[in-house]
Structure 1
Amino acid sequence: MPRVKRGTKRSDRRKKILKRASGYFLTKSKLYQAAQEAVERGLKFAYTGRKQKKRQFRSLWIVRIGAAAKLNGLSYSQFISGLKKAGIELDRKVLADIAVNDAAGFTALAQQAKDANAAAKQVA
């Protein structure tokens, strides 16, 4: 029975890791073991970073909406509550975009939110 040769599997695997580590500092981009540790660590940070990005963007949108709502005499929570009562289902990403790029449109939404809040107070 002939002996089993590795072929290119080992070098391919090492090359893949070293290619991912290109641009890393000193031995992290040159030596396989150091590169492997650095790449695994980087992938871990990339994974958590993708989750954090979603949180950070949501809080950015909330800040933008809150600032625009303040200009229209409402707090953020009053504005969101009024929109829900008015039956307007726009997500925060869209609301933030409207707040930044279309002040008149946001003012109209804020007025609807105010009206819905006032109507809810009269009922209660």
Structure 2
Amino acid sequence: MVRVTYGAPRRQKKRRYFKQAKGFRGGRRKLWRTVRETLLRSWAYAFRDRKQRKRQFRRLWILRINAAARQRGITYSRFINGLKASQIDLNRKQLSELAIHDPAAFDTLVEKAKAACGS
């Protein structure tokens, strides 16, 4: 029986992997087994971190909103509760942008939230 070596497809696959490993250091760029292991791990990290990026941005927005709200004498949770009570539907990204770029509009939102939650 003839031994199959998968000549061209194997070379193409290796070339594709090595091309993706460009920029890695040492054997992580030059050695086939190490390249393969490193790329598998990097793909796993990339998949995981695409999910984590969304969480991290939400945390950042909440942090910014909390800081801006506390400067105006209200906590984050009471601010969000007041907005929901007054039926103002703005997501956290929009609220953090308002807090940074349009403080006057954020002040009006804080006043409405304070009036709605009674504090």
TM-score by structure 1 length?
0.88
Question: Is it true that 1:77 corresponds to 2:64 in the alignment?
Answer: no
Show structure 1 runs of 4+ deviating over 3 A: 4-7
Gaps of 5+ in 2: none
Spell out, residue by residue over 1:22-77, the C-alpha distance to the aligned partner (whole angstroms, 9 max, x if none).
11111110111110000111111111111111111111100100011111111000
Q: Percent identity?
A: 41
Closer/same/farther in 2, CA of residues 5 and 28 from structure 1, 3 Å limit: closer
Instruction: Name the amino acid aligned to 1:60.
Output: L
Instruction: Name the amino acid aligned to 2:82.
Output: G
Distance 1:6 1:32 in 2: 16
Gaps of 5+ in 1: none
- In structure 2, the partner of 1:116 is 116
Question: 1:45-124, aligned counterparts within 5 Å?
Answer: 45-118=45-118
When the two chains are superposed, the root-mean-square deviation of aligned CA atoms in Å is 1.7
Spell out, residue by residue over 1:97-116, the C-alpha distance to the aligned partner (whole angstroms, 9 max, x if none).
10011100000000110111
Distance 2:78 2:38 in 1: 47
The offset of 1:16, in angstroms, is 0.6
- In structure 2, the partner of 1:13 is 13
Distance 2:86 2:5 in 1: 71
Distance 1:37 1:16 in 2: 14
Distance 2:7 2:41 in 1: 29
How many residues of Structure 1 are paired with residues of Structure 2 in the alignment?
A: 117
